[in-house]
Amino acid sequence: MSEVSQAPLSSKAMAACTQTGLTDRQQFWLEHLRACAKANQTTKDYAQAHGLSVKAMYTARKHLAQRGISKSTTTAPFARVRVAPSPPTTQWRIQLSNGTMVSFSGAVDGQALCAILHAAASLS
């Protein structure tokens, strides 16, 4: 494909521009730029796959942005997220006088721990 030109618009192009807000050429490139973004491809890969000039796509993107037609045809690839801190993992290991070892991790429920220790202490 050819480069995006900045030559004065013909009367036919002016009519197309006033009806849709874009010239046929601008609409052509805008559709390709949006399709490229939607396909999540690099401009180079998209252009090669569709037989388009990579330079022409970059030029069209620049001209459309300069004219305020499209501030950006792509979405941000990253979103801000807040990572919640993971709760500390506590490891417990209790060896009773009868040789029984009780080990567990996480939060301690006093009643449950007491029941487990009494049961473990009764083992011989």
Domain ranges of the chain: 11-66, 91-121
**Parts of the chain with a pLDDT under 50:** 1-19, 73-74
Say whether 83 sits in a helix, a strand or coil. Answer: coil
pTM, 2 dp? 0.43
pLDDT tens digits for range 100-116: 999 988 888 889 889 99
Contact 23, 16 (CB under 8 A): yes
Is the four-CA dihedral 83, 42, 28, 2 of positive or negative sign?
A: positive
